[in-house]
Amino acid sequence: MFKNSRLQENSTGRDILLNMVIAAISLFVNGFGVYLTIQANIGAGPWDVLNLGLSKTFGILYGTASVAVSYAILGIDIALKEPIGIAMFIDAFVVGKAVDLFNRINLVPKCDSLATGIPVMILGLIIMAYTQYTYMSASLGCGPRDTLLVALAKRAGKIPIGAVSITLLSLATFIGWLLGGPVGIGTLICAFATGPIMQAAFTSVKFDAKSVHHQHLFDSVKVFSTHKAA
């Protein structure tokens, strides 16, 4: 188990580089979890319905669509003046391209029934939950989508963040479905099981996501600048 106190410091360039590597590896494995939820072949998660819909419509790789969506959302986060960390840029690129790699080597064949699809889907979500823990432990920023959710929730007044999340996921799913993305029981599993599975994973490693202080991009740059000057 990672020691959060050490990972949250990021007080030296070496700490930041180490945590960038931890974040990148975590996100690569996270991409394998995403890949499994897609190979379950029972309907993709909300954001993946959008990514796969874009992939199908424009004849591009899943990863290319994912990177485009991620960086577009990252741009919105910046426009909304939300805190941005180095790992958010890593997140926007690594996960989608990891899925492309696993697709290329055809690591896991597509499931052909609910009996095999549901367990593969759940396994993918469990992998995603634990890698979310190691990624967040690097304390270099949350994912672009999570940051957007928080930004919208701040501006939604008295509307609960859960309602904002459902609206955002529903919109991504609807647009993806219009573009030909796969919607099915797996979409519902991802929408409603991801949160509880992630909470169970965090509880099992005694990790409190709210206690993590993510370092802002400018602060990371300042650490490197100070180190060089020294």
Strand stretches in the chain, DSSP E? none
* Residue 117 confidence (pLDDT): 97
Mean pLDDT, residues 3-16 taken together: 68
First-last CA distance in the chain: 33
Mean pLDDT, residues 68-76 taken together: 96
* Residue 31 confidence (pLDDT): 98
DSSP string, 43-88: ---HHHHHHHHHHHHHT--HHHHHHHHHHHHHHHHHHTT----HHH
Among the listed ranges 10-19, 90-99, 106-115, which one has the minimum average pLDDT value? Answer: 10-19
**Where do the domains of the chain lie?**
10-223
Q: Which residue has the tokens 């999570």?
A: 146
The CA-atom distances, in angstroms, between 164 and each of 65, 83, 146, 210 are 24, 19, 12, 19
Banded pLDDT at 209 (limits 50, 70, 90): confident
* Residue 13 confidence (pLDDT): 86
Q: Is the pLDDT confidence value at 1 over 70?
A: no
Q: Is the pLDDT confidence value at 6 over 50?
A: no
Q: At what angle do helices 114-137 and 185-204 cross, to 10 degrees?
A: 40
Mean pLDDT, residues 65-81 taken together: 95
Q: Residue 63 and residue 73: Cα distance in Å, rounded? A: 15
Mean pLDDT, residues 106-131 taken together: 96
Q: Is the pLDDT confidence value at 63 over 80?
A: yes
Q: Is the pLDDT confidence value at 133 over 80?
A: yes
* Residue 208 confidence (pLDDT): 85
Q: Is the pLDDT confidence value at 38 over 70?
A: yes
* Residue 227 confidence (pLDDT): 61
Mean pLDDT, residues 106-122 taken together: 96
Share of the chain above pLDDT 70, in %: 95
Q: Is the pLDDT confidence value at 138 over 60?
A: yes
* Residue 36 confidence (pLDDT): 98
Give the tens place of pLDDT for each residue, 146-202.
899 989 988 988 888 888 999 999 999 999 999 999 999 999 999 999 989 999 999
The total of other beta-carbon atoms located within 10 Å of residue 54's CB is 22
Mean pLDDT, residues 106-130 taken together: 96
